[in-house]
Amino acid sequence: MLISMDSITKYHNVKEIVKEASLTIEEHDKTALIGVNGAGKTTILRIVAGLESYEGNIVRKNGLRISYLPQDPVFDEQESILYQVMKVDPKIEEYEAKSILGKLGMHDVDLCIAKLSGGQRKRVALARALLKPCDLLILDEPTNHLDNEMIEWLEKYLKRFSNAIFMVTHDRYFLERVCTKMVEISQGKLYTYEANYSQYLEAKALREEQALANEKKRQNLLRKELAWIRAGVQARGTKSKERIERFHALNAQDKPQLEKSIALDLTTSRLGKKIIELEHISKAYGERVLFRDFSYHFTRHDRIGILGANGCGKTTLLHVMAKQLEPDSGTVVHGETLKLAYFKQGHGDMDGSMKLIDYIQETSNHIETTQRSYTAASMLERFLFPRSMHHTTIERLSGGEKRRLYLLKVLMQAPNVLFLDEPTNDLDIATLQILEDYLDEFNGAVVVVSHDRYFLDRICDKLFVFQNGNIVQHIGGYSSFIQIASQTVETTPKSTQPKAAVLMKMTTKEKQELAGMETAMDQVQKCIDAIDQDMEKYADDFQKLQELSIQREAKEKQLEEMMERWLQLSDKKARIDAMLNK
């Protein structure tokens, strides 16, 4: 056991975050903390990390080493990237720091921290957290600001990470593939599930169903007991004391409190045939070409995802399409009926000193939905901001609550075309699911820039993919694009694919290789652990340390190659099993 929390209570001012909550983290646990925005997920992480005060008892393993990635990392602003990463532990070698920074897209390691964007700062903080030796790795939204390639690298890294992980993330593929335990924070209580994400959803549904069934039984029993008490008043003056006390105890029990959800049934404006027409548009900064000679005419029901590495020009393309930035060449034409709403990265142009109600009333004090009309105050309540919060200033909200408020402001414009730039950053999973359902019914075009692989698969049926200064169109979602991109054999003609699929099989050698790979990877990891122990032993022997560092790097490379091969064979087996089960 690494950490045991018992009867933990925490308040922020008068708001109850958790009450009498308990949690245990064991060695090798890969745990995710799930809850709505503002529920207190970051607070719980900080309590576990020893950075937040609380009431109750926490027992930590002696000598427990914790590495923590916060949402808003703090640095020495005038120091270099390399210095910031290496200073977390004197045993970190320069090549290790440069290697992990490179994998996270940070190649100019001598750059001053003060010159970095928010996303770059988060990646430096992630490199620092991953390199720091620890027994427990705590990560707060680790995939924010990472592109898809980096997210997939991080996913593989954490899958083979040998120590415990405790994280908050909205990335549902991450939750499914990396985590084996889910902790849900709901109404100030913590519920633990020994499950991955899909299993957790099933278990949660059963828990809520059972809670409602128990409440129904309690109400039936209360009615019977109340009838008994009333009926006996005229018949006799004394009653069974125990039965009356049992009635009062039953009546005092709290009703099950299920999570409230956002109500999204907003209307859209009428949309004509001409929406947005792009004709041969290009954009470059200096000699760096972002995209060239791109043309596309939008249709009413387009669901388009924009995919590419960080800095390739995805947001710039949105700006050009929204006519907020002129292309270097080509034209952008908007239809007369176009009503575009643009959900940008961050929280838009929020004034932290504004009250919530004033911020929404700037857009409208009245909105029509498919059911009825609502005031701004009513819409705030439908977006889980109770009336007690309406005169709270925006600066007091959590990051996720600000994003939810900003989303409400955008949707209250009743748009018929939506541009969403990284909509999944800082939004909780429940809000994302409701947004996805809303977009299913949205009567207009949707364009999404996102690194959330699940969201892209769920929403998009077409991709604009940035490739070497060109934008390539792909029909299908993210997973189909990756599958095609990763194929190393000639594509089979469509007419013969069913036959080829039937003939596809694993060789005996591949089956034997896959069966023994997990044991082999464990052995390599043990070698790495042994080298780490030797490096501690020979801490003062520079020559020996150099030899061990070379050995360790070779073993790390071997393990990474084995992991790639294991993923390749596992994916092949899964596809074969899926075809056989059709």
Give tens-digit pLDDT for 42-67. Answer: 999 999 999 999 999 999 999 999 99
Q: Where are the strands (E) in 26-148, listed by range?
A: 30-34, 55-60, 66-69, 136-140
**Is residue 452 located within the same domain as residue 519?**
no
Kindly tell me the burial class for residue 577, based on how many C-beta atoms sit within 10 Å of its own C-beta (0-12, 13-18, 19 or more): exposed
Average pLDDT over residues 333-351: 87
Strand-pairing partners, residue 374, are 367
The DSSP code for 258 is P
**Is residue 285 located within the same domain as residue 406?**
yes
CA atoms of 73 and 121, how far apart (whole Å): 7
**Is residue 453 located within the same domain as residue 508?**
no
Which string of DSSP letters, residue by residue, matches 209-239?
Answer: HHHHHHHHHHHHHHHHHHHHHHHHHHH-S--
Single out the residue in 438, 458, 485 at which a domain terminates: 485
In a domain, 90, yes or no: no
pLDDT at residue 356 greater than cutoff 70: yes
Number of domains in the chain: 3
In a domain, 361, yes or no: yes
**Is residue 480 located within the same domain as residue 335?**
yes
Q: Could you list the residue range(s) of the whole structural domain that residue 562 is in?
A: 503-580
What value does the mean pLDDT of the chain take? 84
CATH number reported for the structural domain that contains residue 416 in this entry: 3.40.50.300
CA atoms of 219 and 237, how far apart (whole Å): 26
> How many alpha carbons fall within 13 Å on the CB side of residue 498?
2
**Is residue 507 located within the same domain as residue 481?**
no
CA atoms of 522 and 540, how far apart (whole Å): 29
Of 512 and 459, which is predicted with more confidence? 459
With CA atoms as reference, report the closest residue to 16 among 188, 184, 259.
188
191 token code pair: 């519920």
In a domain, 547, yes or no: yes
90 token code pair: 């004197």
In a domain, 243, yes or no: no
CA atoms of 403 and 421, how far apart (whole Å): 12
CA atoms of 427 and 420, how far apart (whole Å): 13
- Residues 256 and 204: beta-carbon distance below 8 Å: no
**Is residue 478 located within the same domain as residue 549?**
no
Single out the residue in 200, 233, 252 at which a domain terminates: 200
In a domain, 72, yes or no: no
With CA atoms as reference, report the closest residue to 446 among 474, 421, 429, 481.
421
Kindly tell me the burial class for residue 380, based on how many C-beta atoms sit within 10 Å of its own C-beta (0-12, 13-18, 19 or more): buried
In a domain, 339, yes or no: yes
pLDDT at residue 450 greater than cutoff 70: yes
In a domain, 250, yes or no: no
**Is residue 352 located within the same domain as residue 436?**
yes
**Is residue 44 located within the same domain as residue 182?**
yes
142 token code pair: 């680790």
Task: Put residue 297 in one of left, alpha, beta given phi > 0 → left and psi -120 to 50 → alpha.
Answer: beta
In a domain, 261, yes or no: no
Give tens-digit pLDDT for 208-254. Answer: 777 777 777 777 777 776 776 666 654 444 556 666 666 666 666 66
Query: What pLDDT, on a 0 to 100 scale, did the predictor assign at position 309?
Result: 84
Query: What pLDDT, on a 0 to 100 scale, did the predictor assign at position 228?
Result: 64
pLDDT at residue 496 greater than cutoff 50: no
Question: Which one of 179-193, 243-257, 362-376 scores highest in mean pLDDT?
Answer: 179-193
CA atoms of 470 and 364, how far apart (whole Å): 40
Strand-pairing partners, residue 318, are none
pTM over 0.75: no
CA atoms of 27 and 24, how far apart (whole Å): 10
In the chain, % of residues over pLDDT 90: 40
**Is residue 357 located within the same domain as residue 448?**
yes
Single out the residue in 177, 200, 223 at which a domain terminates: 200
The DSSP code for 346 is B
- Measuring CA to CA, how many Å separate 262 from each of 203, 385, 410, 434? 22, 10, 15, 7
Q: Where are the strands (E) in 124-256, listed by range?
A: 136-140, 164-168, 181-186, 189-193
Three-state secondary-structure class, residue 452: coil
**Is residue 476 located within the same domain as residue 516?**
no
CA atoms of 254 and 328, how far apart (whole Å): 64
**Is residue 12 located within the same domain as residue 142?**
yes
**Is residue 404 located within the same domain as residue 354?**
yes
